[in-house]
Amino acid sequence: MPKPRPLFSSVAAALAVAFAVLLPHAAQAQEGDTLARIKASGAITFGYRESSFGFSYLDGNLKPVGYSIEICNRIVEAVKSELKMPAIEIKYQAVTSANRMPLVQNGTVDIECGSTTNLVDRQKQVAFSPDIFRYNVRMLVKADSGIKGIADLQGKTVATTTGTTSFRLLREADRGRSLDVTNLAGKDHSDSFLLVESGRAQAFVLDDILLAGQLANARNPKDFVITGESLRTENQSLMFRKDDPAFKALVDRVVSGMMKSGEMEKLYTKWFMSPIPPKGININYPLNAETKDAFANPSSKGI
């Protein structure tokens, strides 16, 4: 007759199985809990862009600055209050259009303070704040190029930045025309602009506000123009990990509050209608109707 197993060993075995099942879920919960991560580490990591002028870029001291960075700084102040922490260290991680989402997903970046479009398709992988800016996708060309619209790109080379939606939007707008265009990708927006400046590409397709930033910082701004029909009206938001309702609620509260108080419009004026570092250049991009609507009716639904 087999010897009966002690009761405590059966209980221990059951607990071990339960613990093994629950452990991955606990780890995932910790991974997605941004506030808990900040509390434990005493730090938050901003993802920043190196050349999204006005939004997120490096100043003369190679420090990340801009409209998006300042909004993220306001969020950190709210996190301090929420967690009752007198100080939180801000760490910085450079991101590109190509790697920004993976770096948010894998936990390297807690919040991306850059110039990212909030697309419904991207919401399967990451979460977004209410829109902080809305704009039109157009193209930058040399002033003497003769290019005024999509039809004029026949046989031309078009620069886009790796990881952006620009070339796909151009192809969608081209349906039925069968334009013969070649895509040349730059690693960042400044690199893409250089492709046009050097003559390797005849047009650079991107958000018109980011094109305006490149134009303002060009050696000879009058040599270039932003032209053509809008390929789409898009929206920019701050990006962070999905499935983290507590952090999203805090971000939404801060961003919406800044819009309702008028603080967001003041920040807009500071970064897009005033001289900015490092060269004291004014991007001079007046607040458009689409962004005014974003401020009046905060939304993170995406497009």
Residues 38 and 125 in one domain: yes
pTM for this prediction? 0.81
Residues 253 and 130 in one domain: yes
Residues 183 and 211 in one domain: yes
pLDDT for 179 = 86
pLDDT for 32 = 62
Q: Is residue 280 part of a domain?
A: yes
pLDDT for 117 = 93
pLDDT for 29 = 37
Residues 282 and 140 in one domain: no
Domain that holds residue 184: 136-233
Task: Report, as an integer, the average pLDDT of 177-201.
Answer: 94
Q: Is residue 5 part of a domain?
A: no
Q: What is the dihedral of CA 231, 53, 263, 34, to 10 degrees?
A: 90
Tell me the percentage of the chain whose pLDDT exceeds 90. Answer: 84
Count how many domains the chain has: 2
Task: Report, as an integer, the average pLDDT of 183-198.
Answer: 96
Residues 240 and 128 in one domain: yes
Backbone angles phi, psi at 213, to 5 degrees: -65, -40
Q: From edge to edge, which strands make up the β-sheet containing 56-58?
A: 51-52, 56-58, 64-65
Strand pairing of 182-186 and 157-161? parallel
Q: Of 199, 233, 267, which closes a domain? A: 233
Tell me the percentage of the chain whose pLDDT exceeds 70. Answer: 89
Instruction: Identify the residue with better confidence: 13 or 102.
Output: 102
Q: Of 211, 233, 255, which closes a domain? A: 233
We report the CATH number of the domain holding residue 164 as 3.40.190.10
Task: Report, as an integer, the average pLDDT of 53-77.
Answer: 97
pLDDT for 33 = 94
pLDDT for 178 = 79
Q: Of 233, 249, 281, which closes a domain? A: 233
